[in-house]
Amino acid sequence: MPARRSRSRGWEMVSNAALRSRRMRMECVEELNLRNMVSISMDGPNVNWKFFELLQQEHAEQYGGVQLVNVGSCGLHTLHNAFKCGFSMWQLEKSMLRRFVKREHLQNITPLQLVRLDVAYQKIWVNLKEADIGLGAEAALKDLQRKNSIGELTALEFRKDCVKGMSNILKKVQDKSPLKYPVVRQVACLDPTAMYSDPDWCQGRMRSVVQKFLQDKQLSRGVCWYE
């Protein structure tokens, strides 16, 4: 298989009004063979959706119903805005779900279930005293309690605020997570670890990817699957 290389074709700043102009959109990509386009990337969580919608329509009209694969908007912007939505001044580590959600609700959870998990539902939270609010916060809280600067109720309220903050962050991530899109979840089959540990699962997911590409007419019907 020949090596794949990425190249920049330049860039243009285009207004919303210009995006609605077929002529302007075609000038941006006039040197490219759009029939070979599989998907487009986005540099923000909301921008370019109108462009994507219009491009889908044109693609279907020009290439016999071919559709681009939708893998969501910019993941980096989603994560940034998630932290901004929760609270902007605190630094949190990864795996926030394990910090405040009961383990039985996370055991064997699928990516789709993870996206749909109601993190604001307090019945799935651990006891507030068991919530992991971070080593620094724990140490500061214990020091204040030892000095009798705060009481038990205030400490619990602070812990609850911490959990609410983490819940807000995760909710924002869930709302715009690429995991909502089937193709994104299915391409996990390309993970070498998954291929080794569960080849049957990977084959099933790859079949789903191929079927999606066939439905969108990104692949011809002559594609065969080899066991």
Q: How many CB atoms lie within 10 A of CB 172?
A: 20
Pick from 135, 224, 99, 117: nearest CA to 173? 117
Cα gap 147→207, rounded to integer Å:
62
Tens-place pLDDT, residues 98-119: 899 998 888 887 777 887 889 8
Q: Is residue 223 scored above 70 in pLDDT?
A: no
Tens-place pLDDT, residues 58-70: 878 888 888 877 7
DSSP state letter for 83: H
Please check whether residue 90 is in contact with residue 165, taking contact to mean a CB–CB distance below 8 angstroms.
yes
Q: Is residue 7 scored above 50 in pLDDT?
A: yes
- Contacts of residue 65, defined as CB under 8 A and 6 or more positions apart, other chains included, come to 217
Q: What proportions of the chain, in percent to the nearest 5, are helix, strand and coil?
A: 55, 0, 40
Choose between 2 and 199: higher pLDDT.
Answer: 199
Q: Is residue 132 scored above 60 in pLDDT?
A: yes
Exposure pattern of 42-60 as b/e (b: 16+ CB <10 Å)?
beebeebeebbeebbeebe
Q: Judging by beta carbons within 10 Å of its beta carbon (0-12, 13-18, 19+), is residue 183 exposed, middle or buried?
A: middle
- Indicate the range of 95-99, 199-203, 223-227 predicted with least confidence: 223-227
Q: Is residue 227 scored above 60 in pLDDT?
A: no
* pTM, two decimal places: 0.52
Question: Coil, strand, or helix at residue 101?
Answer: strand
Whole-number pLDDT of residue 217: 79
Residues paired with 101 in a beta bridge: 125
- Contacts of residue 52, defined as CB under 8 A and 6 or more positions apart, other chains included, come to 40, 42, 68, 70
